[in-house]
């Protein structure tokens, strides 16, 4: 959904056999990595039998960097590109020279698109159009325009090209998938940064996980573990211990392309504040957003809680709308957490009890460059989000988040996201 400050960092695609030292992943046998070259064939049964999955190391943080990025190798010959990660949108795209109209600064040379155009009548193209009854001005190509919540936009053409992917069973594949060749981008000043493109992790047909699943190469499951210290990792495929996660159903109505979990109850300091409205999880947003009613309830509760404590509102700090200063500058959130209580969002699971998403102070506070402690939950109604509540990166820190598109479930559990699963064949 691309909201809030975003930026650029390196992502390394490192996939191999899992080490048994990670509690999140099952033990797998060491295999020699095999590369499937053009002209060679492999059965998807071979991959699926071995438990086909991928893991990508992520770099970045919520603040002050403001984004999480990966690196993917794309094209023939393959070249590295830095991609912002976004579970709130579907299409993966690169800024390209087609020729370009408007592009931002890029860390690498602009992508030179392949000649393999996706036609206008392709189902992938249809999934990017604003309505089912769209017109094809150019039948031999798929034109698209995508507008993001932070007034960022991209216009381009859909092409197919080769992605170099290393699977956890030791096989390297050159997988041909659709991506966007974005030749006209508009960047608002608040979210501008050099980038090569965007990695869409959403539920739609054009997302990479949907395409990989459609080719029988991985189950349609996305996971991420973002560290409060910076970095973390993303997973594609069924690579987690499901018994250790708390699960709640996804909803489809009106949110078919987003990871939404329906109506929820807000809990501040252990006390219920009533129904909050629909909740969406989105790694494309640095911060969390509550709708106006929930946000105002949170601000009122915080003011009451802090009224007799030695932190006072810092009106001169414009990092985010609400900040507080202490008797001396704070260096880290752990120094300020004693003044704040945990939050939670509780989902009803249709007679199966409640699924509670815990938000400790570390998952809703940041320390500004002025040494103040600031609220990383913003008013979504002020940025056109209506009644929606959006859980951004800050509130998903140090949690294993899993979006199981096949079972239509969202799962989470506390995790040490600094500890990227080790590989027997490759060292990170």
* H helix intervals, 224-346: 292-306, 333-336
* Cα–Cα distance measured from residue 320 to residue 370, given in angstroms and rounded to the nearest whole number: 12
- The residues pairing with 171 across neighbouring beta strands, listed in sequence order, are 34
* Strands in 37-152 per DSSP E: 54-61, 67-74, 79-86, 93-95, 142-147
Q: Which of 84, 86, 196, 398 is the catalytic position? A: 86
DSSP 8-state symbol, 102: B
Query: Is the separation of the CB atoms in 86 and 206 below 8 Å?
Result: no
* Cα–Cα distance measured from residue 250 to residue 252, given in angstroms and rounded to the nearest whole number: 7
In the three-class reduction of DSSP (H, G, I as helix; E, B as strand; rest coil), residue 243 is classed as helix
Confirm whether 140 is a catalytic residue.
no
* Cα–Cα distance measured from residue 117 to residue 157, given in angstroms and rounded to the nearest whole number: 8
Cα→Cα distances 65→59, 68, 394, Å: 10, 8, 12
Confirm whether 282 is a catalytic residue.
yes
Cα→Cα distances 365→9, 69, 324, 332, Å: 22, 22, 11, 10
- The residues pairing with 348 across neighbouring beta strands, listed in sequence order, are 354
Q: Which of 84, 196, 282, 317 is the catalytic position? A: 282
Residue 325 backbone phi and psi in degrees, to 5:
-110, 150
Distance, first Cα to last Cα, the chain: 30
* Cα–Cα distance measured from residue 101 to residue 129, given in angstroms and rounded to the nearest whole number: 21
> What b/e readout covers 352-368, taking b as 16+ CB neighbours within 10 angstroms?
eeebbbbbbbbbbbbbb
Sequence-ordered list of residues with C-beta below 8 angstroms from that of 84, at least 6 positions apart, any chain: 2, 6, 7, 8, 67, 68, 69, 195, 197, 198, 199, 284
- The residues pairing with 35 across neighbouring beta strands, listed in sequence order, are 172
In the three-class reduction of DSSP (H, G, I as helix; E, B as strand; rest coil), residue 71 is classed as strand
Query: Is the separation of the CB atoms in 345 and 260 below 8 Å?
Result: no
* Cα–Cα distance measured from residue 350 to residue 81, given in angstroms and rounded to the nearest whole number: 43
Residues with catalytic roles:
86, 282
């Amino acid at each position: 959904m691309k909201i809030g400050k975003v930026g650029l960092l390196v992502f390394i695609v490192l996939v191999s056999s899992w080490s048994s030292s990670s509690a999140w992943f099952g033990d797998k046998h060491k295999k020699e990595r095999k590369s499937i070259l053009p002209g060679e064939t492999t059965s998807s049964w071979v991959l699926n039998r071995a438990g086909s999955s991928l893991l990508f190391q992520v770099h970045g943080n919520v603040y002050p960097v403001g984004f999480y990025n990966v690196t993917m190798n794309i094209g023939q010959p393959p070249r590295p590109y830095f991609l912002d990660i976004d579970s709130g949108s579907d299409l993966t795209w690169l800024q390209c020279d087609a020729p370009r109209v408007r592009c931002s600064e890029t860390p690498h040379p602009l992508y030179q698109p392949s000649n393999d155009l996706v036609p206008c009548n392709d189902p992938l193209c249809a999934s990017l159009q604003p309505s089912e009854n769209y017109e094809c001005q150019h039948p031999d190509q798929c034109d698209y325009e995508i507008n993001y919540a932070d007034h960022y936009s991209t216009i381009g053409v859909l092409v197919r090209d080769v992605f170099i992917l290393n699977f956890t069973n030791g096989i390297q594949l050159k997988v041909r998938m659709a991506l966007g060749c974005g030749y006209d981008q508009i960047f608002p000043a608040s979210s501008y940064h050099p980038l090569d493109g965007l990695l869409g992790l959403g539920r739609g047909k054009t997302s990479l996980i949907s395409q990989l699943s459609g080719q029988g190469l991985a189950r349609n499951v996305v996971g991420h573990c973002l560290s409060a210290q910076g970095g973390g990792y993303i997973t594609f495929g069924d690579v987690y211990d499901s018994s250790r996660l708390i699960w709640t159903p996804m909803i489809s109505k009106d949110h078919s392309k987003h990871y939404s979990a329906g109506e929820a109850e807000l809990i501040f300091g252990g006390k219920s504040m009533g129904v909050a409205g629909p909740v969406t999880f989105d790694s494309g947003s640095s911060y969390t957003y509550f709708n106006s009613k929930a946000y105002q309830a949170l601000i009122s509760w915080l003011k009451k809680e802090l009224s007799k404590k030695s932190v006072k509102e810092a009106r001169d700090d414009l990092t985010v709308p609400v900040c507080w200063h202490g008797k001396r500058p704070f260096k880290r959130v752990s120094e300020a957490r004693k003044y704040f209580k945990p939050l939670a969002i509780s989902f009803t699971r249709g007679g199966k009890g409640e699924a509670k998403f815990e938000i400790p102070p570390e998952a809703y506070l940041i320390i500004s460059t002025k040494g103040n402690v600031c609220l990383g939950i913003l008013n979504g109604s002020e940025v056109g989000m209506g009644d929606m509540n959006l859980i951004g990166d800050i509130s998903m820190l140090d949690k294993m988040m899993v979006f199981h598109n096949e079972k239509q479930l969202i799962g989470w559990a506390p995790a040490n996201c600094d500890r990227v699963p080790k590989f027997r064949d490759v060292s990170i």
